[in-house]
Chains A and B, each alone.
Chain A
Amino acid sequence: MQAIITAKNLTKRYGDLVAVDDISFNVLPGECYGILGPNGAGKTTTIRMIYGFSPMTAGELTVFGLDLRKHLCAIKSRIGVCQQENNLDPDLNLLQNLEVFGLFFNLTGRQAHEKAQALLEFMSLDHRKDAKALELSGGMTRRMVLARALINDPELLILDEPTTGLDPQSRHQVWERLEELKKKGLTVLLTTHYMDEASRLCDRLLIMDHGRILVEGRPADLIRQYVGHDIIEVAEPSSDLRAYVKARQLQVEDFGHRMIIYESNGSNLYQEISKKYCQEGCLLRMASLEDVFLKLTGRELRE
């Protein structure tokens, strides 16, 4: 199967800063691929190179089997992009926003109009089609940006943090739309720093930090590989517990007031710990992508 995106040794430098540092990955047809990473990891820079917004400093990029450097325009006409900032046109109403974008993709006025109407309906925005872009709520704005990215019937949809800053209802609505699109066979590349979003939408993903890829794979595989099956969280761990985990050579992270114990083999470790060492409370839960993320990218604050 030919990949939709093939990135080889992709690099982007801004002066001395290496924003994207020699990364390689590919995205297969019909797949939803996620790029995860903390703020400043290089997610936006990576996808900007893929949709031809930023020229790459070094590396090879093939999209739809075409060399990006040679076929930029042809490639761009087959991609839909949701940029990180909501840059709807504030001088135009919603319908016009979509129509004008259709014109940029060289649709005729009539095609653009019909497509715009259909997309407003799909995104449940047709009742607001005469509204100006700035009159919309955050959730509506994001749905509108998503609608605009679909005006050219793209084969590849690129989304930069599609739900950042949205309330839970709006996030779920965006996710449902994306799942519908995925079902129709659309290939999706998205960036996010929400692990629930990535777990729900992404078939495969990579986690990057400081411009480099830390890991790549299916969410479930990554969880199994890096944090195991279950997590035990202990509040106010005692010195006895510390001695115990040391003796048993368990994988732990100790934060002083809280300790996280990674458990991979489904043993009865939890019974033992909760019985003997739990004065302040113990919690057994399934490991999640968030555990992988925090384990790999660290817990210190960014920016």
Chain B
Amino acid sequence: MKSLFSMVSWMGLFRVWQRNFIVYRQNWKISFLAPILEPLFYLLAFGYGLSTLVGNIRENGMEISYTAFIAPALIAINIMNNAFFENTYSSFVRMYYQKTFDAMMATPLTVNEIIAGEIVWGATKSVIATMIMMAVISAFGLIQYPSGLLLIPLAFMGGLAFGAVGMYFTGIVPHIDLFNLPFFLFITPMFLFSGTFFPIENLPDWAQVIAITFPLTHLVNLARSICYGRFDGVMLWQLLYIVIFWMVFFPLALYKMRKRLIK
């Protein structure tokens, strides 16, 4: 583990990040569109369309509107999606089709710096998307401030964790089409069953046990606590779970990508 990290210089990591940022900056208008429109669509469809059917939800002893219930989940889902998508499809394209990493490896950059830079970039995209969504959702009065600002570091932590998982898959998939698999088996179930659109208590017991192992479940809970300005000690455990996820998958991603890139 130590040897894995000793080869990452912050400068090298930053340079890789910077390359992605320069590319992102060129298309920012398009990149901004999704995080603006997506929460609007969901809030309209679910919040207004569904809430009359669903009514209020009891969450942690609190009675809240259905819109207030899903708004933090939308942010958490976006944290997951942005980093995971970036470090699967986008990183894979850079690695496999554009040979961007090969070119980088002929410079003083190391593979570890390249991969760490990519993962931090994935987390950055989660942060950018989160900030835009916060602006939109705040317009509906669904985020309490100043505690709501904690969503930003949360997005970064969550982004690192899901980005590392994504990068791990990038290290092992033989072909880009096979990303369907982790999306179908990992992302979609989490999207649906992490207490996002209904409380996990509504699930059968066995399914609840599985849902508890999903990192998104904990990210959603953290986002809710932050949005409602309601803090307790459980949050530390939830955060710890996400950090552990990152600590497991980050070295694994480095290991698999080193195997893949170093010939």
Contact = CB atoms under 8 A, between A and B. Distances in A.
Interface of A: 14, 48, 51-55, 73, 76-77, 79, 81, 83, 85, 87-92, 96, 100-101, 103-106, 152
A87 B96 CA distance: 11
B22 A100 contact: yes
Interface in B51-106: 98-100, 102-106
B108 interface: yes
Interface residues of B, number: 21
A89 B100 contact: yes
Shortest Cβ-Cβ A-B pairs, 7 listed: A87-B99, A81-B106, A104-B107, A91-B23, A87-B103, A77-B108, A76-B108
Nearest to A109: B18
14 contacts: A55-B262, A73-B110, A76-B108, A83-B106, A89-B98, A89-B100, A89-B103, A91-B26, A92-B23, A100-B22, A101-B103, A103-B19, A104-B104, A106-B11
Given A53-B263, A87-B98, A104 B23 contact: no
B121 to A, nearest CB: 13
Contact of B263 (A54, A89, A103): A54
**Residue among A52, A55, A96, A103 with the highest chain B CB neighbour number at 10 A:** A103
A160 to B, nearest CB: 10
Chain A at the B interface: SS class: loop
Contacts of A83: 99, 102-103, 106
A100 B106 contact: no
B11 A53 contact: no
B106 A85 contact: no
A54 B103 CA distance: 13
Contacts of A14: 263
B22 A53 contact: no
A93 to B, nearest CB: 9
Contact of B108 (A87, A89, A106): A106
A104 B108 contact: yes
A83 B98 CA distance: 13
A105 B104 CA distance: 10
Interface in B1-55: 11, 15, 18-19, 22-23, 26
A55 B263 CA distance: 7
B211 interface: no
A100 B19 contact: yes
Given A87-B98, A89-B100, A92-B23, A53 B106 contact: yes
**Residue among B98, B104, B108 with the highest chain A CB neighbour number at 10 A:** B108
Contacts of B105: 52-53
Interface string B107-139: 111100000000000000000000000000000
B70 to A, nearest CB: 35
A152 B108 CA distance: 11
A55 B98 CA distance: 23
Contacts of A152: 107
B18 A85 contact: no
Given A51-B106, A104-B104, A104-B107, A92 B22 contact: yes
Contacts of B11: 106
A270 to B, nearest CB: 49
Interface in B211-263: 262-263
A14 B262 CA distance: 12
**Residue among B15, B100, B107 with the highest chain A CB neighbour number at 10 A:** B107
Given A73-B108, A89-B98, A100-B22, 19 more contacts: A14-B263, A53-B102, A53-B105, A73-B110, A77-B108, A83-B99, A87-B98, A87-B100, A87-B102, A90-B98, A91-B23, A100-B18, A100-B19, A103-B18, A103-B19, A104-B107, A104-B109, A105-B108, A106-B11
